[in-house]
Chain A
C-alpha cells in the first residue's frame, strides 16, 4: 500500500496551535512532523523593562500553566539580585504551584485527553446500575448511585437528542479504537462534568494568595499577600481554613475520582503501554524546594537525567549541555543552519521560509515549525510528568517508587510499560496523587511558622533599583506541569537587557535537528504507532495529548538582539 500523507490541523484539546503531519503506511505511522504554527515574540518585548515587572509579561506566555512562567521569572530575577525569599513565601508559592499541577492535570485528563479514550455516545447504551456497581467497586466517592448515573445519562441523551452536539460535533464516536464498555464510558462522562465544577472550586486557592485566576499575582522577593491573623484583608484564620478545605477537596477528588478512573480506563488500553514511547531520554529540573530554590537537594521532585530508558541511575543535570538547533525551524543563525548554540549564546532571528498560505503540506519542507530543537548533550529529551517520575524513580524517591510499583502491579505490566503513551498518561496521574498529598505538608509548614510568630512574606532589602549592581544575571529553574522550564535574565542599569526562556513544549515538540534526529513527539508517533483511519486520526491524538502540548509556551523564544552571550549562574 502506498504511503498516505496525513495532516491533522488544528490539533484541538491542547493549548496553542499545533499541526501534525504524518505518513501512514499499512495502518502504521511511518514518519511524523510536529509543526508549531504560532509565534508571539515575548522576549523581545521584555527588553528595557523593569525586571520586577518581568513575571507579569512572561506569565502571559501561557494562561493554562498560569503560575509557572511567573515563578520562574521571579526566581531568575531573585537569583540575579541575590534575593532569598522568606520561607513563608516559598511555601505559599509551593501551594499555589502545587494546586496548579493538581488542577491542570485533572483538567487535562478529563477535558483534554479523555475523549481520546472515552466514547461519549456509547455512554448512552450503558446500564446505569452496572456503572454504579463499577463505581462503587473502584472508589468510595459518594456519587455512585444508579439514579445518579441514570440522571447523567438522561442529560447526555437529551443533549444528543437535541441534534445540537456543540463541542462533541464530529467526534470520532464509534471508532473501533474505542475499547471501553458503555458503563465505563458513562462513568467517565459523569466525571467529566463533575471535574468541570471541581476545577472552578479548588483553583480559588490562587485567588486567596494571588487575587485571581488565571494570571494570579506574584512578587519579586516573596508574595504580596500579607499574613495577619487579626487583619480583615490579610491571610487570616478564615482564609487558612478555606485553603485547607480546598486542599482536602482537591486531594479527595484526585484520590477518589481521577486516579481510580485513570487506572480503570488504562486497564482497557494496555496495548498502549507498548506504543508511543519515543526518545527514551528524560530530563527533569525538579520542583518544590523546602525553603529556597537554591537548595537543590531539598526539591520534593528531584532534578536529573535518565538516558536510554536506563532506570538504574539518574544522571546529574548540567545546563551547560543544553543547545538549540534551528535546522528545521523558521529562524536563521549567523553561523548557518547547521550550527547549534547554547542558550547563553542563543540567537533568534525569525525568518519564515515556508509556503505562502494556505498550506497543503509542510513535510516536504526543510524548515517546518516555529519551534527550535533543544538538545541535551546532543540528544532530544522528553520532559514532563513521565520524565519527573522516571528521574525520581531512578533516584530512589520513596513515594514515587511506591506509587509506580503499585500501579504497575495493579495493571499487571512491567516497568517497560512506562516508556509509552499510556505510561505518560499514568505518570501524570501518579504525580497528581503525590502532589495533592504533599500540599498538606506545605500547609502544615505554613501554619507552624505562623504559630511560631513568623509572618514574613517579603524580602525588600534589594527592592529599590538603587541597591542593584550595574549589571546582574540570573537563572530561574522550575519544573512545570508540562516539564522543565528555564528563564534567564540579564539586567543592566536597572532594566532588562536580555531575557530568554527554554520551555517544556519546546523540548517535546522539537523538530528534527541538524543531524536529522527527530524530537519527542515525532519519535513517539513513529514508535510502533497505529493509525487505522487516516481521516479519523484518533491514535495520533492519543499520543500527542499524552504529552499535554502547550504551544504558546513553546514558541516565543526571541531574545533581544540575538547575538550576544548571556552568562548565567546556575545552582
Chain B
C-alpha cells in the first residue's frame, strides 16, 4: 500500500512530486513502472518514458459503463494484481462512474456521470462492458430510464478514447449468439466516429485491462491493434504457440478422454477439443489471477473466448478442431480469423490477404490532452 501523507494532491502538482511527498520513493515508483513495462511487453528502456508520463498526470477521469452483460468483466478487473484495484481507484485514475462499485444510486449516480462527462469533456477514458441490444428500439437494456444505446452514444461523444472490455462489448458475445434474440451488438457497431479498442475475452484477464489503461495514460494513445481492434501486446500470439503443453502436441502425445493416463501426465488437450490453435490470447503468458494458472493448465481445453463469434464458431467445445497442421507461430490473428469466418481451417492460406494492422495514433487537442485518432491502416507486419 502506498504511504499516505497529510497533504492533498493539489491542482497544479504533478504526480511525481505528489508521490514524493507521500513517501513513495523513486525506486518504488520506477518498480511500478517497470512492472507495467513488463506487462505491456516493452523493454526496460521504456521505463523512464512511462515514469515521465505518469508523473505529469493528474488522475485521469475514467467512466465505466455497464450495458447488457453479466458483470464478469468488472469482477475480473477487480482481481488485478499490478496495480491493485485499491491503488488504481485511489491513486492512478479517478473512476467517476461505475455501477458496481459507486456509492451513489439513482439521480445522484446520474449526476456523477453528468459532471464527469462535462468537466472532462474530450479527456476522459470511456470503458464499456456489455453489449448493446438494438432490437425493439433498445428496450432490452434500460439504465436510468433510457436505452443502453443512447447512454453509450452520449457518453462516447466526448470521450478521449473508448475501450470495449470483454466479449460482450467486443462483438455481443453469448446474447449475440444464434439466434441473437435481442439484436445485441458490440460497442464498435454503435460508436463509429472514433476508434474502439477491443479487449477480447469472456472475461479478459485483469492485467490486460489494466495495462491497456496504463498504456493510454502513458503514451497518450491506445496500443497497436489487429484487424479486430485487439491490442497486439496481448493478442498477438496464438495460445497454441505459447502453450506449456505444446511439446506434447509436437510429440503426438494427446489426452483422449478426461482423466485418462495422458490427462494425468498433463498432455495436449487438442483431441478433446482445445481451441488453442485457433485462439489469439495471452492466457499462457499473462496467466490468470496473479499468474496462478490458465484453463489448459488446469486440464480443460480452451474454448476460444477471445475470438469473435466463438460461441458459434468454436462449438461444440469438445469437438476436435479441423486439421490445423501447417499453421505456425508466424500466422497472425487476421489470417486465422478470416479462415474461421468461413468455417474451415483448410482455407487458411487462401485468406492470408485479408490482413492489416490498425495503428491507432494520437493527436493532441488544443488543450494539449491526448485524443486518439484512427489514421487507418499501417503496414501489416510479418510476411502477410
Using a CB–CB cutoff of 8 Å, the interface residues on chain A facing chain B are 7-17, 19, 37-42, 44-45, 49-50, 52-53, 56-57, 60-64, 66, 111-112, 115, 120, 151-155, 157-172, 193, 196-197, 199-201, 203-204, 206-217, 219, 221-222, 224-228, 231-234, 350, 352, 354, 356-360, 455-458, 460, 463, 535-537, 541, 552, 558
Contact = CB atoms under 8 A, between A and B. Distances in A.
Nearest to B105: A12
B45 interface: no
Contact of B9 (A41, A162, A204, A219): A162
Given A42-B175, A204-B289, 13 more contacts: A17-B143, A40-B184, A64-B70, A152-B4, A166-B93, A166-B94, A171-B108, A212-B288, A215-B203, A233-B297, A356-B139, A457-B258, A552-B71
Nearest to A536: B108
Assign chain B's interface to a size class: 35 or more
A377 B70 CA distance: 31
Majority secondary structure, B binding face: loop
Given A162-B8, A215-B72, A12 B290 contact: no
B288 A11 contact: no
A225 B299 contact: yes
A12 B99 contact: yes
Interface in B153-196: 173-175, 177-182, 184
Given A37-B143, A164-B94, A215-B203, A232 B266 contact: yes
B35 interface: no
B8 A158 contact: yes
Query: 3 nearest interchain CB pairs?
Result: A63-B72, A161-B8, A233-B266
A50 B264 contact: no
Contact of B316 (A53, A151, A163): A53
Interface stretch (B80-88, B326-334, B353-361): B80-88
A211 B300 contact: yes
A196 B75 contact: no
Residue among B8, B68, B205, B292 with the highest chain A CB neighbour number at 10 A: B292
A344 to B, nearest CB: 22
A558 B3 contact: no
Interface stretch (B144-152, B335-343, B367-375): B144-152
A85 to B, nearest CB: 11
A204 B289 CA distance: 6
Nearest to A11: B105
Contacts of A193: 1, 86
B86 A40 contact: no
A234 B318 CA distance: 20
A56 B259 CA distance: 20
Residue among B58, B137, B298 with the highest chain A CB neighbour number at 10 A: B298
Given A41-B182, A157-B6, A12 B86 contact: no
Given A11-B105, A12-B102, A203 B289 contact: yes
B134 interface: no
A231 B297 CA distance: 12
B242 interface: no
Nearest to B203: A214
A206 B105 CA distance: 32
Contacts of A153: 4
Residue among B80, B150, B317 with the highest chain A CB neighbour number at 10 A: B317
B135 to A, nearest CB: 9
Contact of B139 (A155, A206, A357): A357
Nearest to A228: B264
Contacts of B108: 170-172, 536
Given A17-B142, A57-B174, A196-B84, A62 B181 contact: no
Contacts of B136: 352
A62 B140 contact: no
A170 B104 contact: yes
Nearest to A171: B103
Given A10-B109, A39-B141, A215-B202, A207 B288 contact: yes
Contacts of B140: 38-40
14 contacts: A10-B144, A38-B141, A39-B182, A62-B70, A64-B75, A111-B101, A164-B94, A167-B103, A172-B103, A196-B78, A214-B72, A219-B258, A234-B264, A552-B69
A196 B85 contact: yes
A169 B109 CA distance: 8
B244 interface: yes
A357 B316 contact: no
A8 B9 contact: no
A158 B75 contact: no
B84 A357 contact: no
Contacts of A197: 84, 86
B216 interface: no
A457 B259 contact: yes
Contacts of B292: 204, 207-208
B109 A211 contact: no
B219 interface: no
Interface string B185-223: 000000000000000001101000000000000000000
B46 interface: no
Contact of A228 (B147, B265, B297): B265
A208 B205 CA distance: 15
A458 B258 contact: yes
A200 B289 contact: yes
A60 B70 contact: yes
Interface string B297-308: 111100100000
A158 B7 contact: yes
B384 interface: no
Given A41-B182, A166-B96, A52 B318 contact: yes
A11 B140 CA distance: 17
Residue among B58, B61, B299 with the highest chain A CB neighbour number at 10 A: B299
A15 B100 contact: yes
A17 B205 CA distance: 24
Contact of B71 (A45, A62, A160, A233): A62
Nearest to A330: B139
Residue among A11, A199, A200, A221 with the highest chain B CB neighbour number at 10 A: A200
B103 A115 contact: yes
B103 A66 contact: no
A199 B75 CA distance: 10
B126 to A, nearest CB: 15
A234 B31 CA distance: 33
A160 B74 CA distance: 24
B320 interface: no
B295 A211 contact: yes
Contacts of A37: 141-143
Contacts of B315: 49-50, 53
A497 to B, nearest CB: 15
Contacts of A120: 103
Nearest to A168: B103
A214 B76 contact: yes
B29 interface: no
Contact of B263 (A19, A226, A354): A226
A10 B99 contact: yes
B5 interface: yes
Nearest to A215: B72
Nearest to A160: B8
Contacts of A457: 258-259
Contact of B259 (A212, A226, A536): A226
Contact of B75 (A17, A63, A209, A210): A63
Interface in B48-99: 58-59, 61, 68-76, 78-81, 84-86, 89-90, 93-96, 98-99
B351 interface: no
A28 to B, nearest CB: 19
A214 B245 CA distance: 23
Residue among B7, B72, B89, B316 with the highest chain A CB neighbour number at 10 A: B72
Contacts of A234: 264-266, 299
Nearest to B75: A214
Contacts of A45: 174-175, 177-181, 311
